[in-house]
């Protein structure tokens, strides 16, 4: 454990660095590690088992010093959480370029990665941890809300009340599930082994009730479903035990999924049949034995979900590679249920729509509230967006620097950026605004068991697209750009890219932002159009996106089976 004081982001208008372009990065890496935001700030872990903001504290300090000294025509290079060089570039170049966890494909295994990590040579950046744009559990909540809403629309006739959603985990991503479900009007039942995480989500208003007795937890959830009551019940225990008991009691939820940290079989997932405290001890004393137990447990976990499917529940994978781990553990039919992207999200990706987020560098919530008003005025016909903003205002607490998340598409993002940059220019906001997104986005990721699962042309595992995304955002003028490996689904299973752009009210950033926020989602449309998806092809043509070779539509019925990389 470190003896350092807790990390906090500076607020207000006093600069620590030489410009807002570098000040933003300085504040955001600190915001990632704010104890109100990070899962384990003392180990530099932001979320997702071992997703870090910096490789070690010496690297964090060096990043901080360098950002304070950086000129507006210089670029800092960060290699897996360690600052390695500064080069003179130009004003439109990113101030920071980040590469995390990237391994030559032949060596892209957890064993090889962990050997390097043990020797201090690499770190796991997850998605938004190592790219300094994590904003707490709220960063995933609208995506969870939209996913649950679409699942309810398709599977439950659109009626959320009186429906029971079952899932697991209360970490940095999974912690959003109970609140998203109850905001939708459904009943939620989940499990979490870490008492500290449960208490944290309770304090933040993300969950309604905790139960230490398994049968009582189930009874309370069933009662709430019967009353059509939006209510969340969290069992303090293991998710596999919860699912097994539901099966034994012949209780089938309406929807079932999972968002535990299954992507990491050592530092993320906690096996059943062992107490949480003993599991943590085993993880340190005998890592191989721990991994073996975790893999067996994930196999059982998927078997339980498949049994619930037989009982009438709709099940889907929520992007944590649980199916892939179970498949590797010998469950041959692990991929007989779909991932959430092809099942519910891909139509939005075809329009360049995805998880768009902004942060008030001032630290003043009023800056976010002012932007809320502008968003509602700018997009009056977007009823889903309007409903989301109203819900977020009343139900979602800020963690660290005030921030907001919503899904905006091609055209909408560029318009938003222009409006907000103008607010900063006119002094209607107290400080510049950082705008970024999740790496789970329309054109920034190759992940065969998640975002690019079941592409109709079979291009699930082609990783050229996230690399092109990072290059395009760099060329367009983003403030910092990152390329990561393995986030969300684990080493060997994904390549993804992120961008962050600072709206500081200048004419220069107005122009740069228009290019970034047109190109970034535009590539998402292109990626899906190139795969032959008719909706994306039509959208690209309608919106004048230039594609030199016109793609031919690929019939959905001809789609290949999901990849099992």
Positions annotated as catalytic residues are 406
Return the number of other C-beta atoms located less than 10 Å from residue 495's C-beta.
27
Burial class (CB in 10 A: 0-12, 13-18, 19+), 439: buried
Instruction: Please spell the DSSP secondary structure of 450-470, one letter per residue.
Output: TTTTT-TTS-TT--HHHHHHH
State the Cα–Cα distance between residues 82 and 121, nearest whole angstrom.
9
What's the gap between Cα 294 and its chain centre? 23
State the Cα–Cα distance between residues 216 and 319, nearest whole angstrom.
29
State the Cα–Cα distance between residues 306 and 324, nearest whole angstrom.
14
Q: Could you write out the three-class secondary structure of 335-404?
A: HHCCEHHHHHHHHHHCCCCEEEEEEECCCCHHHHHHHHHHHHHHCCCCHHHHHHHHHHHHHCCCCCCCEE
State the Cα–Cα distance between residues 177 and 286, nearest whole angstrom.
32
What's the gap between Cα 56 and its chain centre? 23
Beta strands per DSSP E along 19-171: 45-47, 51-52, 74-79, 82-88, 96-100, 164-168
Contacts of 520 (CB under 8 A, 6+ apart): 413, 437, 441, 443, 444, 469, 472, 473, 476, 478, 499
């Amino acid at each position: 454990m470190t003896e350092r004081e807790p990390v906090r982001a500076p607020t207000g208008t006093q600069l620590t660095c030489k410009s807002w372009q570098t000040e933003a990065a300085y504040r955001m890496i600190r915001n990632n590690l704010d104890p109100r935001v990070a899962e384990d700030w003392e180990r530099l872990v932001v979320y997702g088992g071992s997703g870090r903001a910096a490789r070690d504290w010496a690297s964090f300090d060096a990043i901080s010093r360098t950002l304070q000294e950086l000129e507006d025509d210089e670029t800092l290079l960060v290699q897996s959480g360690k600052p390695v060089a500064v080069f003179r570039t130009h004003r439109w170049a990113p101030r920071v370029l980040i590469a995390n966890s990237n391994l030559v494909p032949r060596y892209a295994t957890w064993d090889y990665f962990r050997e390097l990590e043990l020797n201090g040579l690499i770190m796991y950046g997850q998605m938004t941890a190592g790219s300094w744009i994590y904003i707490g559990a709220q960063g995933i909540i609208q995506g969870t809300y939209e996913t649950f809403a679409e699942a309810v629309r398709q599977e439950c006739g659109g009626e959320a009340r009186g429906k029971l959603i079952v899932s697991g985990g209360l970490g940095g991503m999974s912690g959003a599930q109970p609140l998203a479900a109850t905001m939708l009007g459904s009943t939620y039942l989940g499990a979490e082994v870490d008492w500290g995480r449960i208490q944290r989500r309770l304090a933040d208003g993300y969950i309604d009730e905790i139960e230490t007795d398994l049968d009582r937890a189930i009874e309370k959830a069933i009662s709430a479903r019967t009353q059509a009551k939006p209510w969340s019940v969290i069992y303090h225990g293991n998710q596999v035990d919860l699912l097994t008991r539901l099966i034994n009691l012949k209780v089938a939820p309406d929807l079932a999924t999972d968002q535990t940290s299954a992507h990491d079989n050592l530092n993320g997932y906690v096996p059943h049949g062992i107490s949480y405290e003993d599991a943590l001890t085993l993880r340190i004393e005998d890592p191989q034995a721990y991994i073996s137990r975790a893999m067996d447990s994930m196999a059982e976990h998927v078997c339980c979900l498949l049994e619930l499917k037989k009982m009438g529940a709709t099940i889907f994978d929520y992007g944590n590679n649980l199916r892939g781990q179970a498949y590797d553990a010998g469950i041959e039919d692990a991929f007989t249920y779909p991932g959430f992207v092809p099942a519910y999200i891909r139509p939005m990706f075809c329009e360049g729509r995805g998880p768009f987020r902004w942060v008030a560098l001032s630290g003043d919530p009023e800056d976010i509230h002012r932007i809320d008003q502008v968003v509602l005025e700018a997009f009056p016909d977007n009823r889903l967006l309007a409903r989301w903003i109203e819900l977020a205002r009343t139900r979602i607490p800020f963690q660290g620097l005030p921030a907001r998340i919503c899904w905006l598409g091609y055209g909408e993002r560029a318009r938003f950026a222009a409006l907000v940059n103008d607010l900063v220019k006119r002094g209607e906001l107290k400080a510049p605004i950082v705008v970024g997104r999740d790496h789970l986005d329309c054109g920034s990721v190759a992940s065969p068991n998640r975002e690019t699962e079941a592409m109709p042309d079979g291009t699930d595992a082609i990783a050229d697209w996230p690399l092109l995304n990072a290059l395009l955002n760099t060329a367009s003028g983003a403030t910092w750009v990152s390329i990561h490996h393995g986030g969300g689904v684990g080493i060997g299973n994904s390549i993804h890219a992120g961008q962050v752009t600072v709206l500081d009210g200048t004419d220069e950033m107005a122009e740069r932002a228009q290019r970034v926020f047109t190109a970034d989602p535009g590539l998402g449309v292109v990626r899906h159009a190139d795969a032959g998806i008719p909706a994306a092809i039509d959208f690209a043509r309608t919106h004048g996106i230039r594609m030199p070779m016109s793609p031919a539509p690929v019939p959905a019925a001809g789609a290949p089976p999901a990849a099992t990389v």
